[in-house]
A = this chain, B = another copy of it.
Amino acid sequence: MAKQPELDDFRVPFFEDGKKNSKFSLDAFDPASKPFSTGSKDSDKARLSEIGEKLDQQQERLHSQQKRRVLLVLQGMDTSGKDGTIRAVFHEVDPLGLRIVPFKAPTPVELAHDFLWRVHSQAPAAGELTIFNRSHYEDLLVPTVLGTLDAKAFEARCRHIRQFEALLADSGTTIIKCMLHISKDEQRTRLQARIDDPSKHWKFDVSDLEARKQWDAYQSAYRDALAATSTDYAPWYVIPADSKTHRNVMVAELLLRTFETLQLDYPPPKESLKGVKVE
């Protein structure tokens, strides 16, 4: 087993105010690479299962304390594997301790509010581990590609996001954001597989093909969004995701190490219960 690289190498450099042009580029990350693979698919699956059990324990501690909150944000192009990651990484975690929030195209009521309104209402409560399956970042990406959000408005939204995430962090929320990074070729393979299997058509939306035509525009919007919103309190990580197994292991490792830095423990025993006999 080769020495594992540092997770920090996949962290998007933190945004610095006044510094307009971050040198960060998505092209520096090979979607097909498997830096956190343990060597084989089998050993990766074993590792994932091992991490899953540890995540279950960490989540129970989080819940027992009812103090801190953990938020995992998952973003990525269509077919990048957001659903699959959730299924695989959290298989061993007690469903009682998880809350998964999918963000779809906003409804008229949601659109009648500011873009963070619906997101704020879903922020994790004390003791919760919450996963955003897509998120407020869609409100940067989609309108940018559609041309309805100009550069100034984009920057304003990024500033609002940084401030919103700072509020969550200051209130005890640990935030980790993952961009599942696939190649354009891998997306073609996955979309084609869905089309070629009629039983999978229900997973397929024709708009996915439209979005694919805007691949470069989305990649560019992702780059700008990540560069402007990666902070020490809410860092972005780029997850090479052409390999599903690698993607799962890397997200799981990242989450576990983040949990470990919190040094969560169970609350102390209650003195008042000592020697109590139930009648």
Q: Chain A interface (Cβ within 8 Å of chain B)?
A: 64, 83, 86-87, 90-91, 93-96, 98, 100, 102, 133, 188, 191-192, 195, 198-199, 201-204, 206, 209, 212, 266-270, 272-273, 276-279
Please indicate which of the listed interface residues A98, A212, A270 has the most CB atoms of chain B within 10 Å of its own CB: A270
Docked complex Cα distance between A270 and B204 (Å): 9
Docked complex Cα distance between A270 and B133 (Å): 25
Determine if A278 and B206 form an interchain contact, defined as CB atoms under 8 angstroms apart.
Answer: no
- Which residues of the partner chain B approach A204 to less than 8 Å between Cβ atoms? 270, 273
Q: Which of B95, B201, B212, B279 contacts A273 (CB 8 A)?
A: B201
Determine if B209 and A266 form an interchain contact, defined as CB atoms under 8 angstroms apart.
Answer: no
Number of copies: 2
Q: Which of B102, B133, B195 contacts A278 (CB 8 A)?
A: B195
Determine if B270 and A201 form an interchain contact, defined as CB atoms under 8 angstroms apart.
Answer: yes
Q: Given that A269-B198, A278-B188 are contacting pairs, would A87 and B98 also be in contact in the complex, using a CB cutoff of 8 Å?
A: no
Determine if B202 and A267 form an interchain contact, defined as CB atoms under 8 angstroms apart.
Answer: yes
- Which residues of the partner chain B approach A209 to less than 8 Å between Cβ atoms? 276, 278
CB distance from A210 to the nearest CB of B (A): 12
Docked complex Cα distance between A118 and B203 (Å): 32
- Which residues of the partner chain B approach A268 to less than 8 Å between Cβ atoms? 201
Residue of B nearest to A275 (CB): B195
Docked complex Cα distance between A188 and B91 (Å): 33
- Which residues of the partner chain B approach A273 to less than 8 Å between Cβ atoms? 195, 198, 201, 204, 206
Residue of B nearest to A190 (CB): B278
7 A–B contacts from the bound complex (CB under 8 Å): A86-B96, A90-B95, A91-B95, A192-B278, A198-B269, A204-B273, A209-B276
CB distance from A226 to the nearest CB of B (A): 24
Docked complex Cα distance between A90 and B102 (Å): 20
Determine if A277 and B192 form an interchain contact, defined as CB atoms under 8 angstroms apart.
Answer: yes
Determine if A201 and B95 form an interchain contact, defined as CB atoms under 8 angstroms apart.
Answer: no
CB distance from A47 to the nearest CB of B (A): 20
CB distance from A242 to the nearest CB of B (A): 16
Docked complex Cα distance between A156 and B67 (Å): 39
Residue of B nearest to A191 (CB): B278
- Which residues of the partner chain B approach A277 to less than 8 Å between Cβ atoms? 192
CB distance from A18 to the nearest CB of B (A): 41
Q: Which of B83, B188, B195, B266 contacts A96 (CB 8 A)?
A: B83
Docked complex Cα distance between A110 and B279 (Å): 34
- Which residues of the partner chain B approach A133 to less than 8 Å between Cβ atoms? 96
CB distance from A244 to the nearest CB of B (A): 15
CB distance from A266 to the nearest CB of B (A): 6
14 extra interface residue pairs, beta carbon distance < 8 Å, beyond A87-B94, A202-B267: A64-B203, A83-B96, A91-B95, A93-B95, A96-B100, A96-B102, A195-B273, A195-B276, A198-B269, A199-B269, A201-B267, A201-B268, A201-B269, A212-B279
